[in-house]
Amino acid sequence: MKQLIFLFSILISLNLSAQTDADNIKKIYSNSLTNGKSYEWLDHLSTQIGSRLSGSLGAERAVEYTKEELEKLGLDKVWLQPVMVPKWVRGAPEFAYIETSPGVTTPINICALGGSIATPNGGVKAHVIEVKSLAELATLGEAIIKGKIVFYNRPMQADLINTFEAYGGCVDQRYAGAMEAGKYGAVGVIVRSMNLRMDDFPHTGSMSYGDLPNSQRIPSAAISTNHAELLSGMLALDKKINVFFSQNCQQLKDVQSYNVIGEITGSEFPNEYIVVGGHLDSWDLGDGSHDDGAGVVQSMDVLRLLKESGIKPKRSIRVVLFMNEENGLRGGNKYAEVAKAKGENHIFALESDSGGFTPRGFSFDCNDAVFNKVMQWESLFKPYLIHYFEKGHGGADIGPLKNGTTVLAGLVPDSQRYFDYHHASNDTFDAVNKRELELGAATMTALVYLFDKYGIGTISNKEELKD
Amino acid sequence: MKQLIFLFSILISLNLSAQTDADNIKKIYSNSLTNGKSYEWLDHLSTQIGSRLSGSLGAERAVEYTKEELEKLGLDKVWLQPVMVPKWVRGAPEFAYIETSPGVTTPINICALGGSIATPNGGVKAHVIEVKSLAELATLGEAIIKGKIVFYNRPMQADLINTFEAYGGCVDQRYAGAMEAGKYGAVGVIVRSMNLRMDDFPHTGSMSYGDLPNSQRIPSAAISTNHAELLSGMLALDKKINVFFSQNCQQLKDVQSYNVIGEITGSEFPNEYIVVGGHLDSWDLGDGSHDDGAGVVQSMDVLRLLKESGIKPKRSIRVVLFMNEENGLRGGNKYAEVAKAKGENHIFALESDSGGFTPRGFSFDCNDAVFNKVMQWESLFKPYLIHYFEKGHGGADIGPLKNGTTVLAGLVPDSQRYFDYHHASNDTFDAVNKRELELGAATMTALVYLFDKYGIGTISNKEELKD
């Protein structure tokens, strides 16, 4: 009988606990949708401050602004974590055209890739070799490539459902295209924008020369998808056409910048840390509303929503707004380095860096035991149409925290529209929907709430008890 | 041993069948995303033809265009099904302002509700009573309402995840607001637009006077959410302000129109029909790209995608482009009436009328046995992030087919942005994303493929065999 009562009381307490979780999560979503701050913060970050490339005035203003806003929330601590960042500047606008015969030109929309060198004064003009891959380039060799502009034109694969997979299948052209073409004596590189849509926006993004000597470094630019098709079509008619492009970008000396950090100190386990974050820097085109203004304001709102919903975290919850994800990852590396030096025990880190679209779920970088336990929370998310719980990538900025223990996760929003805006001048505030952004903030908060409440130590212990 | 071999061969055939289904569905999605026609058709329907209110030139052009396009697909039959439709016209643009003192006016954005009468010549100007519900109106009664303009200002509930639920909780104000206020001698009605976002677009939609005598019928209009807030704020400061509005709409005589129907005749069970459809008419503001141009072109593409993917339907598959969903449902009623008169056995009808956004799943109007069988197909949809399988509403146009046997279903896209555009002048082609539209078409095609292959007779039989 005693055992029965014991069992009964356990069942009741389990049920009450589930009830409380469901209630608290409902409160979180409701607060975010009726009383969220994320959209207002994003409006300021995007519309008042604008683009935030590392080392730019916008980046520094974003540091100040988000620090001030976090201070208004009455967190236990807010501070700046110094980090030196690279400073690449675009300079005077790019200019490019196709020349079909002397003096007969058609302008094309290009933008310098981040990290690229400038063209020589007066630009570069040359015949064009179109290739679909780095492998195809290698088969052509120096005899054909030397003195030419290499045009990488492999499109993103449209029939992949996850557009990040399509991006992953193409981005080698952008990142390593100039490095490889430079080895064969090309004079410049034009890369089809990483965009699934046909439009007129060139999309920038990081590229690298690796260890290439300066003599082999060549300028590289992205071309809009519409103009990639145009150029390809014109080349099919006449291989002898020229492309001219001029760009004025340069890499300056590293400058001082900061990660912005706010913390609610845990009431029971203050030395267990949970991080939620996005990156404060953006590319210089557009205002970085989706990439990653959305992740920044959602992460800020996680701490506010916890407070607002009357939840007192047991563990220390930190929002970290990382600097320099786009062209260096210095902020992510710095945060992990300091955490390690201080011996801080990070149990969980969650990043939002896939756009402010309707959230679908999370990808988890963790072991099976933790993942199986997370899956037990799945039903708590069902009322909010959060259904995607898969193992996968956490996020670039939180990546350096990976140590075999810390659970990493990434918010997974609907990805269909993301590459319409990614790194382009149309990544602006009007492309973000308020409710979608707020649903994302609530979804992150709910997961942080569960990790805070149950920890990963508890999860592992339970798992062991069961075995 | 014989039994074992028999069992083994069943297992193999089951596995092959599942394999084939997965392969065919993959082919369908791949075709839609790389070679879809839905977006091109929508471009024409939206950009070249434009709005398609029943009885308008646009509606008639849409009938011609979609019939021609279906004929190009080489279906077994394409025909027009005559149906008489109501013809309501907006007339000269509406005009409205708030008057805070004589001659001091602030313009406000309104549009007449569909079915409303015009204001008297020279418009109507009166004091305003703001209410939050029909129930609140009833408590005020004639003494307070008579001679006033009633302003219904209950917003859509932001913390509901399904925005259609929020719409359902508000739309009584639009549909019955004038009918109820007219009974108390109001001179006009202004209804807050059914829109979760704060913006400047008034959203039209159907309203009814019920059996109200002409003497009690009063003009009713929608006001944009921004201006609903403005008006409410100004009323809070001063109850004596006036609102003026003028509108010039009228209900003309019914005119001839058509449902557009195309059919692939079934190879094994030609007398079992599967219908897939959307509605060809739209409101007159915007071009009806989401409502319901998207559903029209997706439904057309279902038949094309089946052919394109080498699938020969066993049953007869019909695309039905219904006329007059918005203000009469005459097309839906006519189709069901003719089907019944001919004794056609419709086993399944699928409607897309919730916007061209990323598809999440389906809502099914059917019995448990069928629903349980459908749930066995769930895993086939998982690679496409289609996760929502719930019992619920099928669709307005296919509703009249409900007879206790026919399975009805509605495509369920992500609903967060839908009411940003619904029935407003910003429901235009640029608000539709190509991939999202194509994913919807593929998702519908996959479900039609499964219903065609397995039927509902087979499903029920299987169910009985199991029992």
- Which tens digit of pLDDT belongs to each residue from A162-182? 999 999 999 999 999 999 999
Give the span between the Cα atoms of A249 and A90, in whole angstroms.
4
C-beta of residue B203 within 8 angstroms of C-beta of residue B424 = yes
A159 to chain B, minimum CA–CA distance in Å? 5
* Mean pLDDT for chain B overall: 95
C-beta of residue B364 within 8 angstroms of C-beta of residue B407 = yes
Q: Where does a domain end: A188, A219, A248? A: A248
Give the span between the Cα atoms of A374 and A33, in whole angstroms.
25
B286 in any annotated domain: yes
> Cα separations (Å) of B331 from A162, B259, B277, B335?
38, 6, 11, 6
Q: Kindly state the tokens that stand for A62.
A: 């974003």
Residues contacting A29, CB < 8 A, separation 6+: A384, A439, A442, A446, B159, B161
A21 in any annotated domain: no
Q: Is B433 close to A416, i.e. CB distance below 8 A?
A: yes
B5 in any annotated domain: no
What is the residue whose two structure tokens read 């055939």? B13
CB contacts, 8 Å: A158 with chain B: 33-34, 435
DSSP string for A85-125: EEEEE--SPPEEEEEEETTEEEE--EEEPBTPPPPPTT-EE
CATH at residue A151: 3.50.30.30
Identify whether residues A204 and A161 lie together within a single domain: yes
Q: What is the mean pLDDT of residues B22-47?
A: 98
Q: What is the pLDDT of residue A217?
A: 98
Number of H helices and number of E strands within chain A? 14, 16
A20 in any annotated domain: no
Q: In the predicted model, is pLDDT for residue A338 greater than 50?
A: yes
Q: Considering only CB atoms, which residues of chain A are within 8 Å of chain B?
A: 29-30, 33-34, 158-159, 161, 163, 196-197, 358, 360, 383-385, 387-388, 414, 416-417, 420, 433-436, 439
Q: In the predicted model, is pLDDT for residue A12 greater than 80?
A: no
Across B148-268, where does the E strand assignment appear?
149-152, 188-192, 220-223, 242-246, 250-264
C-beta of residue A326 within 8 angstroms of C-beta of residue A279 = yes
Q: What is the pLDDT of residue A306?
A: 98
- Residue in chain B lying closest to A439 (CA): B161
The DSSP output letter for B44 is I
B50 to chain A, minimum CA–CA distance in Å? 22
Q: What is the pLDDT of residue A463?
A: 39
Q: Where does a domain end: A187, A220, A248? A: A248
How many Cβ contacts (< 8 angstroms) between chains A and B? 65
Phi, psi of A163 (to 5 degrees): -70, -20
Q: Is A159 close to B33, i.e. CB distance below 8 A?
A: yes
Q: Is B383 close to A161, i.e. CB distance below 8 A?
A: yes
Q: What is the pLDDT of residue B252?
A: 98
Give the span between the Cα atoms of B214 and A461, in whole angstroms.
74
Give the span between the Cα atoms of A135 and A127, in whole angstroms.
20
C-beta of residue B36 within 8 angstroms of C-beta of residue B444 = no
What is the residue whose two structure tokens read 């509703």? B399
| Interface-testing mutation among A25, A358, A363, A416, with chain B (most B C-beta atoms within 10 A) | A416
Q: Is B385 close to A358, i.e. CB distance below 8 A?
A: no
Q: In the predicted model, is pLDDT for residue B21 greater than 60?
A: yes
B338 in any annotated domain: yes
Q: What is the pLDDT of residue B457?
A: 72
Coil, helix or strand at residue A26: helix
Residue of B136, B223, B242 whose CA lies nearest to B180: B136
Coil, helix or strand at residue B441: helix
Q: What is the mean pLDDT of residues A387-396?
A: 97
| Interface-testing mutation among B159, B363, B388, with chain A (most A C-beta atoms within 10 A) | B159
Q: Kindly state the tokens that stand for B150.
A: 């009633």
Identify whether residues B325 and B260 lie together within a single domain: yes
- Which tens digit of pLDDT belongs to each residue from B410-426? 999 999 999 999 999 99
Q: Which band of pLDDT confidence, cut at 50, 70 and 90, is reported for residue A461? A: very low
Of B159, B197, B420, the CB nearest to A34: B159
Of B197, B358, B384, the CB nearest to A414: B358
Identify whether residues A416 and A287 lie together within a single domain: yes
Of A388, A414, A434, the CB nearest to B414: A414
Q: Is B385 close to A161, i.e. CB distance below 8 A?
A: yes
Of A196, A417, A435, the CB nearest to B196: A435
Q: What is the mean pLDDT of residues A120-140?
A: 97
- Which tens digit of pLDDT belongs to each residue from A23-44? 999 999 999 999 999 999 999 9
Identify whether residues A417 and A436 lie together within a single domain: yes
Note the residue count of chain A. Answer: 467
Identify whether residues B235 and B307 lie together within a single domain: no
Per the structure, the count of domains in chain B is 2
A197 to chain B, minimum CA–CA distance in Å? 8
Cα A386 to its chain centre, rounded Å, is: 20
The torsion region of residue B147 among left (phi > 0), alpha (psi -120 to 50) and beta comes to left
Catalytic residue among A94, A272, A308, A325: A325
Q: What is the mean pLDDT of residues A270-296?
A: 98
Q: Is B439 close to A161, i.e. CB distance below 8 A?
A: yes
Q: Is A433 close to B417, i.e. CB distance below 8 A?
A: yes
Q: What is the pLDDT of residue A273?
A: 98
Catalytic residue among B272, B308, B325, B438: B325
B391 to chain A, minimum CA–CA distance in Å? 14
Q: Which band of pLDDT confidence, cut at 50, 70 and 90, is reported for residue B466? A: very low
A325 catalytic? Reply is yes
Q: What is the mean pLDDT of residues B66-82?
A: 98
CB contacts, 8 Å: B430 with chain A: none
Domain limits at B341? 23-88+253-466
A187 to chain B, minimum CA–CA distance in Å? 34
Residue of B60, B51, B121 whose CA lies nearest to B293: B51
Q: What is the mean pLDDT of residues B54-58?
A: 98
Identify whether residues A277 and A227 lie together within a single domain: no
Q: Is B435 close to A414, i.e. CB distance below 8 A?
A: no
Q: Is A435 close to B416, i.e. CB distance below 8 A?
A: yes
| Interface-testing mutation among A199, A385, A390, with chain B (most B C-beta atoms within 10 A) | A385
Lowest-confidence range among A219-223, B8-12, B168-172, B396-400? B8-12
Q: What is the pLDDT of residue A342?
A: 98
| Interface-testing mutation among A31, A386, A434, with chain B (most B C-beta atoms within 10 A) | A434
The DSSP output letter for A155 is P
Identify whether residues B36 and B175 lie together within a single domain: no
**What's the half-sphere exposure (Cβ side, CA atoms, 13 Å) at A314?**
13
CB contacts, 8 Å: A433 with chain B: 197, 416-417, 420
Instruction: Please name the helix (run of DSSP H) or strand (run of DSSP E) that holds residue A333, with its range, or none.
Output: helix A330-341
> Cα separations (Å) of B183 from A151, B138, B147, B170?
72, 10, 11, 20
CB contacts, 8 Å: A163 with chain B: 435
Identify whether residues A261 and A322 lie together within a single domain: yes
Q: Which band of pLDDT confidence, cut at 50, 70 and 90, is reported for residue A192? A: very high
Q: Kindly state the tokens that stand for B4.
A: 């074992």
Identify whether residues B165 and B244 lie together within a single domain: yes
Residues contacting A337, CB < 8 A, separation 6+: A400
C-beta of residue A432 within 8 angstroms of C-beta of residue B195 = no
The DSSP output letter for A382 is G
Instruction: Please name the helix (run of DSSP H) or strand (run of DSSP E) that holds residue A398, with its range, or none.
Output: none
Q: Is B358 close to A416, i.e. CB distance below 8 A?
A: yes
A455 in any annotated domain: yes
Going B456 to B458 to B461 to B462, the CA torsion angle's sign is negative
| Interface-testing mutation among A23, A435, A438, A443, with chain B (most B C-beta atoms within 10 A) | A435
Coil, helix or strand at residue B379: helix
Cα B455 to its chain centre, rounded Å, is: 26
**CA B10-B14-B19 angle, 5° bins:** 145
Q: Is the peptide bond before B292 cis (omega within 30 degrees of 0)?
A: yes
Q: Is B385 close to A360, i.e. CB distance below 8 A?
A: yes
Identify whether residues B83 and B109 lie together within a single domain: no
Q: What is the pLDDT of residue B85?
A: 98
Spatial strand order in the sheet of B388-391: B77-89, B250-264, B315-322, B269-279, B345-351, B407-413, B359-365, B388-391
The DSSP output letter for B120 is P
C-beta of residue B250 within 8 angstroms of C-beta of residue B91 = yes
A454 in any annotated domain: yes
- Which tens digit of pLDDT belongs to each residue from B364-381? 999 999 999 999 999 999
For residue A178, the tally of other CB atoms under 10 A from its CB is: 31
For residue A199, the tally of other CB atoms under 10 A from its CB is: 17
C-beta of residue A317 within 8 angstroms of C-beta of residue A264 = yes
Q: In the predicted model, is pLDDT for residue B280 greater than 50?
A: yes
CATH at residue A418: 3.40.630.10
Strand pairing category for A407-413 and A359-365? antiparallel
**What's the half-sphere exposure (Cβ side, CA atoms, 13 Å) at A151?**
27
Give the span between the Cα atoms of B424 and B431, in whole angstroms.
12
Q: In the predicted model, is pLDDT for residue A18 greater than 90?
A: no
Instruction: Please name the helix (run of DSSP H) or strand (run of DSSP E) that holds residue B57, with its range, or none.
Output: helix B57-72
Identify whether residues B228 and B112 lie together within a single domain: yes
Q: Where does a domain end: B213, B228, B248? A: B248
ipTM: 0.94
A72 to chain B, minimum CA–CA distance in Å? 25
* Mean pLDDT for chain A overall: 95
Q: Is B384 close to A161, i.e. CB distance below 8 A?
A: yes
Q: Is A196 close to B384, i.e. CB distance below 8 A?
A: no
Q: What is the pLDDT of residue A457?
A: 73
**B276 DSSP β-pair partners:** B319, B350
Crossing angle of helices B294-308/B2-35, nearest 10°?
A: 130
Q: What is the dihedral of CA A338, A340, A344, A346, to 10 degrees?
A: 100
Identify whether residues B223 and B132 lie together within a single domain: yes
Q: Considering only CB atoms, which residues of chain B are within 8 Å of chain A?
A: 29-30, 33-34, 158-159, 161, 163, 196-197, 358, 360, 383-385, 387-388, 414, 416-417, 420, 433-436, 439
B257 in any annotated domain: yes
Of A388, A416, A436, the CB nearest to B436: A416
Q: Is B197 close to A388, i.e. CB distance below 8 A?
A: no
Coil, helix or strand at residue A258: strand
